[in-house]
């Protein structure tokens, strides 16, 4: 194998490694962003559940005390 061929292969591998590094970094950033968004959505859902529970208690409405629908 000639030195030029070896040099060319090494350069190609370095370029490919650079692209792979960029892709891994982009995926890591996307993962971090998604984690933040998921945590925010979980907080919103928890707050909505608490608000719904508070509204049910304030109205005196208990869905468990209702009779089942006629099709049961």
| Per-residue pLDDT reduced to its tens digit, 1-24 | 788 899 999 999 999 999 999 999
How far is it, in rounded angstroms, from Cα 24 to Cα 71?
54
Query: Whole-angstrom Cα distance, residue 48 to residue 56?
Result: 12
The answer to whether residue 59 scores a pLDDT higher than 80 is yes
pLDDT band of 25, cuts 50, 70, 90: very high
């Amino acid at each position: 194998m000639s030195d030029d061929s070896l040099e060319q292969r090494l350069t190609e591998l370095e370029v490919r490694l650079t692209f792979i590094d960029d892709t891994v970094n982009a995926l890591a950033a996307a993962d971090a962003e998604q984690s933040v968004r998921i945590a925010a959505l979980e907080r919103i859902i928890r707050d909505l559940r608490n608000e719904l529970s508070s509204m049910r208690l304030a109205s005196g409405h208990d869905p468990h005390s209702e009779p089942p629908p006629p099709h049961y």
